[in-house]
Amino acid sequence: MVPLADRHFELEVELDSDPEVLRYITGRARSRDEVATSHSQRLALSGKVGGLGYWMAFGSDGGARGTVAPEHEDQGDFIGLMMLPPAHGPDQPDDPTVAELGYRLARHCWRRGLASEASQALLRHAFDTVGQSRVIAQTMTVNVGSQGVMKAVGMRYVRTYFPSWDDPIPGTESGEVEYEMTREMWEARLTVWGLTLTTDIARQVRQWRADDYTWRAIAAAADHQWGTESGGNQLFGSDLCLESARMLGENPEADPWN
161 and 220 assigned to the same domain = no
Q: Over 90: is that where the pLDDT of 23 sits?
A: yes
Give the containing element (helix H, strand E) for 115. helix 114-124
Q: Which has the higher per-residue pLDDT, 189 or 67?
A: 189
Q: What are phi and psi of 103, to 5 degrees?
A: -155, 140
69 and 104 assigned to the same domain = yes
228 and 124 assigned to the same domain = no
Note whether residue 254 is domain-resident.
no
Q: Over 80: is that where the pLDDT of 53 sits?
A: yes
Amino acid at 74: D
Q: Over 60: is that where the pLDDT of 176 sits?
A: yes
Domain count, the chain: 2
157 and 90 assigned to the same domain = yes
Alpha-carbon gap, residue 239 to 219, rounded angstroms: 9
Of 83, 84, 76, 74, nearest in space to 105 by CA: 83
83 and 197 assigned to the same domain = no
Note whether residue 81 is domain-resident.
yes
176 and 236 assigned to the same domain = no
* pTM for this prediction: 0.83
Amino acid at 38: S
97-141 pLDDT per residue, tens = 999 999 999 999 898 888 988 998 899 999 989 999 999 999 999
Task: Provide the CATH number for the domain around residue 46.
Answer: 3.40.630.30
Domain containing 227 equals: 190-247
DSSP-assigned letters across all residues of 144-180? HHHHHHHHHTT-EEEEEE----SS--TTGGG-EEEEE
17 and 110 assigned to the same domain = yes
Note whether residue 35 is domain-resident.
yes
56 and 128 assigned to the same domain = yes
158 and 208 assigned to the same domain = no
Give the domain-ending residue among 152, 187, 222. Answer: 187
194 and 183 assigned to the same domain = no
77 and 131 assigned to the same domain = yes
109 and 210 assigned to the same domain = no
Out of 35-39, 50-54, 56-60, 137-141, which region has the weakest mean confidence (pLDDT)?
56-60
Q: Over 70: is that where the pLDDT of 191 sits?
A: yes
pLDDT the model gives residue 6 = 95
Per-residue pLDDT band at 152 (split at 50, 70, 90): confident
pLDDT the model gives residue 67 = 62
**How do the residues of the chain divide into helix, strand and coil, expressed in percent and rounded to 5?**
45, 15, 40
192-244 pLDDT per residue, tens = 778 888 999 999 999 999 999 988 899 999 999 999 888 888 788 888 998 89
Alpha-carbon gap, residue 33 to 27, rounded angstroms: 17
